[in-house]
A and B are shown apart, each in its own frame.
Chain A
Amino acid sequence: MVDPMADTELKQKVEGLISEHPVLLFMKGVPDQPMCGFSMRTVAVLDQLGVEYGAIDVLPALQPLREVTAEISDWQTFPQLYVNGELVGGCDIIEEMFASGELAQLLGVEQPEAAEAADESRIVPGGPQQSPPMQLE
């Protein structure tokens, strides 16, 4: 049984990151090398939208981060996309909102033509910019 209380220091750090970055993705791995299919699909959506985002690799502190995000957002699976300080969702919601145009609207970008839930073959190398992956420690 793990400590039921999330790590306070880590929680503050995460809350700080969420408030500092208008678009922030918590993911497994890094955008150039996602370590999970759901994270990869979410990255693919953000890349297709050409939006700049911060990315946090959760793998080095997976369980503590689960506890922290459970407290902050009542959500403990990754990926998690935060926009303007609020959790938007994980892969399923992001793909649905991308397909419907809601995500482009939320992010204030134009919906790309022929937008649809990405599959792996649609990931274009050297795509849009993103901030370098951030380390928590």
Chain B
Amino acid sequence: MIETALPGADVKMLDEGGGDHLRAVVTAPQFEGLKRLDQHRLVRNALRERFDDGSIHALSIKTSVPG
């Protein structure tokens, strides 16, 4: 889902417990020039459906720009 929203992104999803506490490590060219907060918003919004349907309860995010 993240890759669809952010083409070219490198995404690693790690399970931090129970399958619904996830950690997303995302490197994406789209993050260039964005504040961390906005980078996180992009990732979170890409996964919004999963939040809304309850399949993700908690998500921690680590973002970076490639290169």
Contact = CB atoms under 8 A, between A and B. Distances in A.
B58 A89 contact: no
A92 B37 contact: no
B22 interface: no
A87 B37 contact: yes
B12 interface: no
Interface in A60-90: 74-75, 77, 87-90
B37 A88 contact: yes
Interface string A89-111: 11111001100000000000000
A87 B62 CA distance: 18
Contacts of A75: 37, 41
Given A38-B58, A91-B60, A92-B60, A97 B36 contact: yes
Interface residues of A, number: 13
B36 A96 contact: yes
6 contacts: A75-B41, A77-B58, A89-B37, A92-B40, A92-B60, A93-B37
Given A75-B37, A91-B60, 20 more contacts: A38-B60, A74-B41, A75-B41, A77-B58, A87-B37, A88-B37, A89-B36, A89-B37, A89-B40, A90-B40, A92-B40, A92-B60, A92-B61, A92-B62, A93-B36, A93-B37, A93-B40, A96-B36, A96-B62, A97-B36
Interface of B: 36-37, 40-41, 58, 60-62
Interface of A: 38, 74-75, 77, 87-93, 96-97
